[in-house]
Amino acid sequence: MSSEPQWHSTTILAVRKGRKLVLVGDGQVSMGETVMKGNARKVRRIGEKGEILAGFAGATADAFTLFERLEQKLERFPGNLQRAAVELAKDWRTDKFLRNLEALIIVGDATSLLVVTGRGDVLEPEHPIAAIGSGGNYALSAARALYEYEDNAETIARKAMTIASEICVFTNSNFVVETLDV
């Protein structure tokens, strides 16, 4: 077992409902029992026109490397997020440098919602909701429970993240929210 403190750094939740895709992330970065930062920005727009929402859980530098690589793939396969994500996952799994990156990402556009992992997985969730990170399972459960009772994707996402922040000690309520009309 490593003697280094374990970093816990995020909860990211994506909800698609109606004509909206919402991606929300908390701002907490913790090392061991210490909150190192409370206002980290872990969700953003990527793509040529900001038409893709992306969020990460894990090491920040690793996530930025992955976003940069994903944008390169999007340039190669414009308008095809799924193909770009699959190509990124292939590189992530096979490239000697990339395979050491420790992060998960959620990406979504007008037609796709995907979770991309370093094991080569590109997962399209069964439901129009995806979550990753320390509090991901709490946020996912809450969002799925709220989904049939709320009409607004942003309301679902904010309420679910609030619930996650009240349960998971590695998740705070300093949310960054990005929305996309689909």
Catalytic residue chosen out of the listed positions 10, 34, 65, 117:
10
Query: What sign for the dihedral angle of Cα 168, 8, 126, 162?
Result: positive
Q: In the chain, which ranges are E strands?
A: 7-8, 11-17, 20-25, 29-31, 34-37, 43-46, 52-58, 103-108, 113-116, 122-123, 129-133, 176-181
| Known catalytic residue at 171 | no
| Helices 153-167, 136-147: crossing angle, 10 deg rounding | 140
Q: Which residue has the tokens 């061991």?
A: 32
Going by C-alpha positions, the residue among 23, 17, 1, 7 that lies closest to residue 178 is: 23
The radius of gyration of the chain from alpha carbons, rounded to an integer in Å, stands at: 16
Active site residues: 10
